[in-house]
Structure 1
Amino acid sequence: MTEYGRGQGSEPWHPDDPLYGDDGWRGQQAEQGRHSSYDGQPQHYPQQPQTQQQYGDWGTGERDGYGGQQYPQYDQQYASQEQPQYDQNGWPVGTHPQDPYAGAPADPYGQQTGTYGGEQADYYGSPDAYPPPEPPSRRRTEPEPEPDWDPGPDQGEHAFFAGGGDDDGDQEPGDRRGRGERRGRGGKEKQRRNGFACLVVVLVFGGGLGGIGYFGYQFYQDRFGSAPDFAGAGNGEQVTVTIPAGSGGFAIGQELKKMGVVKSVDAFVAAQSANPQGKTIQDGVYTLQKEMSAASAVELMLSPKSRNNLIIAEGKRNGAVYELIDKRLGVEQGTTAKVAETKWKTLGLPDWAANHGDVRDPLEGFLYPSSYAVAKGQKPEAVLKQMVARASEKYAELDFEGKAEGLGLEGPWELVTVASLVQAEGKTHDDFRRMSEVIYNRLKTTNTETNQLLQFDSTFNYLKGESNIDISESEINSNKDPYNTYTNKGLPPGPIGNPGAEALQAALNPTDEGWIYFVATDGVNKTEFARTHDEFLKLKDKFNAS
């Protein structure tokens, strides 16, 4: 007998074939005591001569793996017939008297269509059918596995994204097992990966072109383009613009554009950068014109003529501040003072600034000296809240609560009061630290020079609402008001003005040189200090002489 699969051309079947399994070739071989050539051993047929191939092998399943099942009619039919000869590729050559699969009356499979489920298959109609499949009635009863290959472009997937054609191009047309293995073992997944990769490349390439175009446009605009801008110094229509504190060039440009002063924010930012003083533009209220060129707007904002801020000077008392606010808001005089008197608890004072007895104005010392954007249309409450917030932030920044006790004071309220006295009595900033020491030395219980009396004219002037430096002793000694430090020991009930930054620092850091007396010898700008009462009398004579 001839061994199938050894030296006979292309092998018709393979162990990976679905029919080659425990119930196919191997199961039936074990039953018949034979060994398949696919197991690595030759297959012989002792009941037949070695030189003859018979179609009986087909009936026994030795050729196609149908398990050695015998078909008596089939074997008898063809055992007596002359068998065809085959070339090395397994195809019949020469002539034979009868087509073994023709529909002759003697052919049990040619007429008995019921044996094949009511249909007759053309097993030799094409090379793809060789060797012929088993008759349908003899096949396994298990359901055929669903094909796991990619249905391809005809089933709804475009060939470009399916990746078809490339993988199969190197396979010979006749090698159908190779095609089936690749398609069954991962062809679909690979095709989908190829299609997804193509899609990613398209997206990345398209996004890259878009990004290049955008940055190219930006580069051109930065180098050669110009932002929209008006021409000239304005159309004559004035407008008030409020610039918040901490605003940079972009924020300022936004405010100006919103009010119709400049045409674009970019134009203003560019003009501000081009002006050597552009970065010095401060917050506040400005009177400008609509439709100004950006360069003209920058130039005008740098000029004092455009500034319209409310400036609170250092040491100014609250009464004077209220009058300034009324005037700026265009309201009736006394309006802001009334709000302060009736609504002071709602204006944002810290807790430690409330509920102090004999205080003339709870807001005194909390209208922090600075520049404020105040314009018509605002309410007095809003302006006062802004000032109180600025003072509270400053006191918190300097840690008044934490440092008051270390200075011999009962709390931050007294520290603000000390700072207000330093501001009121000091003529120049050089006086502040020494004036601060005078206050602390006079408050000491060991003070035998003034017996804890401050004896400041500034406190008496505060209660009188005056600024008089020539006060008679009889007038002072007869007034028992708590703010009169000639007749009351210790500090007044509260601050007597609004101290500035340097007075606050001096209150926290007094000198330590023994100063306890002082006299404004010229009555205006010059203050001299003394350690003893005798030195003080000499300074007093100097003042009287001037």
Structure 2
Amino acid sequence: MVEDLDDFFEDRGQWEGPSGSDMDLPPRPPRSRREIRRNRKSRKRRNLLKVLLSALLAIALILGVSYLVSRIHRQGPIIGSSRDVADDYPGPGETPIEFSVDTGQSAQQIGANLEKAGIVASQRAFVQSVNGQQLADKLFPGTFELKTRMKASDVVAILTDPSKAGGFLEVRSGDRARDVIARAARLSGVGQGDFDAIVSSGGRGILPSEAGGHFEGWFEPGRYDVKKLGSADKILRSMVERRTAKLDLLGVPEGEDRQRILNVASITEAEVNKAEYYAKVVRVIDNRLGRGMPLGMDSTVAYSNNVTALKLTNAMLQNSQDPYNTRIRKGLPPTPIGSAGDDAIQAAMNPESGDWLYFVTVNMDTGETRFSTDKAQFDEDVKLYKQWESNHRG
């Protein structure tokens, strides 16, 4: 209590000179234990604040460095900011030049090659344009027709357009072998004769025995760098090996069963354009074969005559000498009629349960297909298709 009273009066005391005015004196020492404690707490608060600020600055620095490292790791060096404009040509370009992009090349690697070829003014301009448009994962492999001294953004527009990529063969589900080989010869620059010689020899050393010497059905859909492969043997071997690997992955039985499944799947792929119908079509094929009925598939006749189903003539459909004419001949055709996709192959192994014997795609725009068990319903469905055909005939 005494200390509190002393503190009370000391806190309110005045330092005065003889005449009552303030004197020019040095800072006085603390007047009481309370002031000492107050000063000590104030210093502690200031020191704590300094520690907290230092910790926050350290955390911010660590987070900033981590972000920059992760971004560089994902995208490569960050260049081309508003204060770091890369050298660039104004375009549109001068001398035509071929330029190739390999599978897996980064924007930095492509940009360096473009600069070396004199196509862009700098690697940095190209990378800046790619990153600015977030197109790093849209750069396609292939051979492109470019020009020297092009604007970097114009080069990016071409290298991200798959239709401009030459040298890469696209095999699609349903493609016929003859068409695939013709495109492979044109894109690779390898002579058509080189391919024809291998086909004539029955694909010896390339095709499995169950293929019976025929490439049809044995090309796996996908993209192939045929220009880089460089020879007919390597190109054909690549497509067949990828097909074999995919069939193994899908669990397709080997030997004659494998060839039969590819045959059924290829017809299914050609007959309807919606995967939801594949398993039903396979069931129709199995049911008709089981009853000893001709398959009656226009797609097989179109294949042997190298036309689309819409261009079939009565003469083609009535040609009994055609081994692929399943309107007349019973059983499956001699070979598959195209490269079936995964969905059709899986449907060929797992047909849907049902007793359908007929189907008709009644609307070629929507792909609507109707299945039936009797000829009368089939005839009615054919009328619907004929009506659609009449309405769309040019």
Give the TM-score taking structure 2 as reference length. Answer: 0.62
Letter in 2 for 1:272: V
Return closer, same or farther for 1:243/1:511 CA change in 2, 3 Å cut-off. farther
| Matched residue, 1:339 | 198
| Matched residue, 1:399 | 251
Tell me the distance in 2 between the aligned counterparts of 1:535 and 1:371: 42
Contact 1:243 1:255 in 2 (8 A): no
Superposition pairs of residues 428-443 of structure 1, within 5 angstroms: 428-443=274-289
Tell me the distance in 2 between the aligned counterparts of 1:286 and 1:294: 14
| Deviation (angstroms), 1:455 | 2.5
Does residue 467 (structure 1) correspond to residue 308 (structure 2)? The answer is yes
Q: Which SS does the other structure have where 2:337 is aligned?
A: coil
Task: Give the greater-gyration-radius structure (CA).
Answer: 1
| Deviation (angstroms), 1:290 | 3.7
Return closer, same or farther for 1:296/1:520 CA change in 2, 3 Å cut-off. closer
Contact 2:358 2:372 in 1 (8 A): yes
Q: Which SS does the other structure have where 1:518 is aligned?
A: strand
- Residue identity over aligned pairs, in percent, reads 27
| Deviation (angstroms), 1:364 | 0.9
Q: Determine which structure has greater relative contact order: mean sequence separation of CA pairs < 8 Å that are 6+ residues apart, divided by chain length.
A: 2
Find 2:344's aligned residue among 499, 503, 508.
Answer: 503
Contact 1:273 1:279 in 2 (8 A): no
| Matched residue, 2:94 | 236
| Deviation (angstroms), 1:518 | 0.9
Contact 1:352 1:413 in 2 (8 A): no
Greater share of residues in helix: 2
1:278-325 CA distance string (max 9 Å, x none): 322233332223454554432321245633344444312122223323
**Structure 1 gap ranges (5+):** 1-214
| Matched residue, 2:381 | 539
| Matched residue, 2:139 | 281
Superposition pairs of residues 204-243 of structure 1, within 5 angstroms: 230-233=88-91, 235-243=93-101
Tell me the distance in 2 between the aligned counterparts of 1:245 and 1:492: 38
Superposition pairs of residues 58-457 of structure 1, within 5 angstroms: 230-233=88-91, 235-250=93-108, 252-253=110-111, 256=114, 259=117, 261-262=119-120, 268-292=126-150, 294-303=152-161, 306-308=164-166, 309-329=168-188, 336-342=195-201, 344-347=203-206, 349=207, 351=208, 353-354=210-211, 356=212, 362-375=214-227, 378-401=230-253, 410-443=256-289, 445=290, 448=291, 451=292, 453-457=294-298
Contact 2:266 2:338 in 1 (8 A): yes
Return closer, same or farther for 1:377/1:492 CA change in 2, 3 Å cut-off. closer
Letter in 2 for 1:438: V
| Deviation (angstroms), 1:272 | 2.3
| Matched residue, 1:196 | none
Tell me the distance in 1 between the aligned counterparts of 2:250 and 2:85: 45
Tell me the distance in 1 between the aligned counterparts of 2:363 and 2:306: 23
Return closer, same or farther for 1:241/1:508 CA change in 2, 3 Å cut-off. farther
Contact 1:284 1:371 in 2 (8 A): no
Provide the aligned C-alpha RMSD in A: 4.0
Letter in 2 for 1:363: F
1:318-348 CA distance string (max 9 Å, x none): 222233233334566655333332372244x
Letter in 1 for 2:245: E
Return closer, same or farther for 1:236/1:376 CA change in 2, 3 Å cut-off. farther
1:240-292 CA distance string (max 9 Å, x none): 33334444445544654665545666664454222233322233332223454
Letter in 2 for 1:341: S
Q: Which SS does the other structure have where 1:288 is aligned?
A: strand
